[in-house]
Amino acid sequence: MKFKLVVFDLDGTLLDTIEDLGVAVNHALSLRSLPLHDAAQYRLMVGNGVRKLVQRALPEELSGDGAFVDSMLSDFMDYYCSHIDIHTRPYPGMEALVSRLDASGVRLAVASNKFQEGAERLVRGFFPGIPFVRVMGAAEGLPLKPDPAVVLDIVSASGLTPGDTVMVGDSGTDVDTAKAAGVKSIGVAWGFRPDAAARADMYACDAAQLEGYLLG
């Protein structure tokens, strides 16, 4: 076993959430007769929390209007929380890999910039029975990734050390978070920002290659 603690990103790493996110933002945009976006465009907007997602989806002249963004965000959240897992699915092989890691005694956690309730609901729904050390979303009092605070909090809760730990993610944000926290990183090729994730210490093209890094 190479690592004792694996910290996964959520959206774009464990789960393909892009369609549900995009549909929810488009719902809020359509209420205001604003231009809509497709999934390919939303892949370039996600990764820094839902408020930033909503801002990026707006026309430039509206993205700086705090009250307008607040209103958009409220409509997005109302819709998304009711439709959070309509199209969302685990990436191929990830359910089985998480189960094998748990069975092998590897500690598991999630560090996401998704709002906390959404992160918890999705992890519970798609990975039931897995005893994650922490499922950390955008929680009050902790900054978003790439600040290392969330990963360091997970490491502390596990009783392990950064040297025991690896972070797995699909974006440069995850790579930068890992570096700032002093942990190794593995980028994955199937997420939203795979080119940026290629800067990681290791790079996995599929779940089988990822398993080799984690359990090989």
9 is catalytic: yes
Least Cα distance to 190 among 204, 175, 174 occurs for 204
In the set 9, 11, 75, 170, the catalytic residue is 9
Q: What is the 3-state secondary structure (H, E, C) of the chain?
A: CCCCEEEECCECCCEECHHHHHHHHHHHHHCCCCCCCCHHHHHCCCCCCHHHHHHHHCCHHHHCCHHHHHHHHHHHHHHHHHCCCCCCEECCCHHHHHHHHHHCCCEEEEEEEEEHHHHHHHHHHHCCCCCCCCEEEECCCCCCCCCCHHHHHHHHHHCCCHHHEEEEECCHHHHHHHHHHCCEEEEECCCCCHHHHCCCCEEECCHHHHHHHHHC
* Location of structure tokens 């990026």: 56
User: Which residues participate in catalysis according to the annotation?
Assistant: 9
